[in-house]
Amino acid sequence: MPATRLLTLTLTAVLTTLVCAAPLPVLVRNGEAHVAAAVLEREAGMVVKRLPGRAEFVVCGQERCAPLKSVLTDGDDWLVPVAPLCDAMHLTANFDESRRHVALILAPRESSATTGPVRVGGIAPNLRLSKLGGAPVSLDELRGQRVLINSWASW
Amino acid sequence: MDVQGPEVVTPWIKKYGVTFPVAVDTADIFGAAFGLKAIPVSFLVDEVGIIRLQGGGPSKEFLAQVEEILREPVSTVRSQTRESATAMSLDELRAQVARTSSDADARLALAQALERAGDYQAAFVECEAAARLRPSDATIPFTHGLVLLRQGKTNEALVKLTQARDLDAGNWRIRKQIWALEHPDKFYGTNGIDWGWQKEQIAREKK
């Protein structure tokens, strides 16, 4: 039924967003498709970070952070397996015919940046406090810098 | 974390020559947003906005992990602001409560903001409203107790803090706040904090 098919295609086009316009080069390791972390950051705006002392990785975009397993080391870079990456970030992988390139497609959903518990490996909630002397300070205005928060009391 | 206000914090800053910015969290805004059960606690938030580390005090091990992160190349990705109600302005919070007067979180956040602005009477009213909406939440009587403390109403504050402690028995921040009020000599005496007493007190209350 061509009419139904056309409708489905149109809907798909409306409901999905490409994370990165250019397909990313695929590197096969242990029979599995991987993408380099540096490429993922540059082309798709997703960053892979290791959690010190835990030997765990997280992958984060603008709105979402999720744990990532089985990241491989490749010289100075990391190789991220495509299938777990898609699970973690709610993406669909579209490989080209030769499977040398992959486009990552994001299904839109409600922003998850404002939900979920505060945890290591997650996005920090914003805070607005007053410094000694009264000047305001917020965590958000420090974005782009590494911030060490130490909470202490006189008791 | 000092609901007693900047006056109890300043001597410590002088004593240790603290040079980093210090925010005095009289309304427990940080504690509530990060769900703290005990202090000291440290977090490292990286340039992206990811919480990369959590530790207690600045131990050698923790600082080594901080160094590890500082050596990384700086990413260009920035996460979007994850707004917690605690970061909204007083006007925004008032508008939110006007829209959804049965939202306990909104009323608690408004109470905290009012406390920060020094409007203790209005903060008191919001705490009472929040407690009616969600009587099982320890954060509400805790904040309520802090508001009363700021007004100098120690005995009434103790009643609220005790309610909070009973609702969240494993929360040592609430317990310590109560100790500091009931035994000021163990905290603010001429010899400073009596750590030996605190150890015994922890052992007593763990039973």
* Residue-wise pLDDT tens digits, B71-102: 999 998 998 877 766 667 889 899 999 998 89
Asked casually if ipTM beats, i.e. exceeds, 0.85, the reply is no
Q: CA B139 to CA B98: how far, in whole Å?
A: 22
Determine the residue of chain A that is closest to B177 in CA distance.
A155
Q: CA A56 to CA A67: how far, in whole Å?
A: 7
Cα Rg of chain B (Å, integer): 19
Q: Does A25 touch chain B (CB under 8 A)?
A: no
What was the pLDDT predicted at A74? Answer: 87
Q: What is the mean pLDDT of residues B136-165?
A: 93
The whole domain housing A88 covers: 15-109
Interface touch A58/B50, C-beta < 8 Å? yes
pLDDT at A6 over 50: no
Instruction: Work out the burial of residue B111: count CB atoms within 10 Å of its CB; fewer than 13 is exposed, 13-18 middle, 19 or more buried.
Output: buried
Number of domains, chain A:
1
**Which residues of chain A neighbour B40 with C-beta distances below 8 Å?**
150-153
Angular region, B51: left φ>0, alpha ψ -120 to 50, beta rest = beta
Interface test with A, best of B45, B84, B185 (most A CBs within 10 A): B45
Q: Percent of chain B at pLDDT above 90?
A: 40
Q: What is the mean pLDDT of residues B119-129?
A: 95
Residue B166: pLDDT band with limits 50, 70, 90: very high
Q: How high is the mean pLDDT of chain B?
A: 86
What was the pLDDT predicted at B10? Answer: 73
Residue A116: pLDDT band with limits 50, 70, 90: low
Nearest by CB to B87, which of A63, A120, A127?
A127
Q: Which of A83, A75, A87, A76 is nearest to A30 (CA)?
A: A83
Domains of chain B: 6-70 (no CATH), 85-206 (1.25.40.10)
pLDDT at B11 over 60: yes
Q: CA B97 to CA A136: how far, in whole Å?
A: 23
The model's pTM? 0.69
Interface touch B34/A118, C-beta < 8 Å? yes
Task: Yes or no: say if A92 and A104 are a contact pair by the CB < 8 Å rule.
Answer: yes
What was the pLDDT predicted at A21? Answer: 55
Interface touch A126/B81, C-beta < 8 Å? yes
Nearest by CB to B79, which of A62, A137, A142?
A62
Neighbouring-strand partners of residue A50: A57
